[in-house]
Structure 1
């Protein structure tokens, strides 16, 4: 699952889904500076803030198979940057589909075992339903290894 939907870029209620999926970008930091982190499994409380939906808080269960950055591994997407600067990890992904191009830039900070922050900016070319760009900030708090059924 990812915030980038190849073949059907952001539209209508997809904005909320996009923001929610980006919100799940929580992790343990990588061993090497330019590697994508592997997410700590368990239950996380996520608070998302975005102009389009306001502030939302929810819980999600993360498994070892869940990716950290939406679009990575998708055949229509390209990971164009993974760069560590001090305590921040910068990640850029570009996805192409019939509807156009979606670019997502994310900055991750935190200790990633108890808390993290993900700040993402997405741009759409051409604009999707009048939206050319959007941003979301996600604060994650680890609640424990057990996920609720």
Structure 2
């Protein structure tokens, strides 16, 4: 009887965390380390573009800024991945942004995002992008901010 109770408790302690992880744990939105980042974006609409940006702790990783037209992001962690959903209102309708984030956000990160437009904008119902960020250093100069990255 005692061994059955211990077995039941052991199984429960093993299974419970896995169900909690599988459903996702609410976490804060990741914050990238402030400083000079090299950002590479791949999207059907623009191809592949690489540029340098000076990021601060207040730069939102999903919307770029704290847009008052966007709702509070729903942020969940499942294992080492962070899932973010946020809805923004625009003059043209609603944008639903769904993103999968990975990385340490101190030296690198990757964002795979899908934006769904309701109604479709210019006939486009949705678009996607993959964004890779690489931390370059803690200081920014005016030459690197929002400029195309130089080939090194």
Separation in 1 of the partners of 2:89 and 2:53? 28
Unaligned runs of at least 5 residues, structure 1: 1-31
> Whose radius of gyration is greater, 1 or 2?
2
Separation in 2 of the partners of 1:68 and 1:99? 23
**Which residue does the alignment assign to 2:138?**
145
**Which residue does the alignment assign to 2:31?**
38
Question: Aligned runs of 1:111-126 on 2, under 5 Å?
Answer: 111-126=104-119
Unaligned runs of at least 5 residues, structure 2: 1-24, 143-152
Contact 1:71 1:93 (8 Å CA) reproduced: no
Q: Where has structure 1 moved over 6 Å in runs of 4 or more?
A: none
Structure 1-normalised TM-score? 0.72
Q: Deviations over 1:31-73 (max 9, x none)?
A: x951112221000011110011100111100112222221774
Task: Indicate the RMSD between aligned Cα atoms, in angstroms.
Answer: 1.8
Aligned length: 118
Separation in 2 of the partners of 1:142 and 1:80? 24
Structure 2-normalised TM-score? 0.71
Could you say what secondary structure the match of 2:58 adopts? coil
Separation in 2 of the partners of 1:33 and 1:100? 28
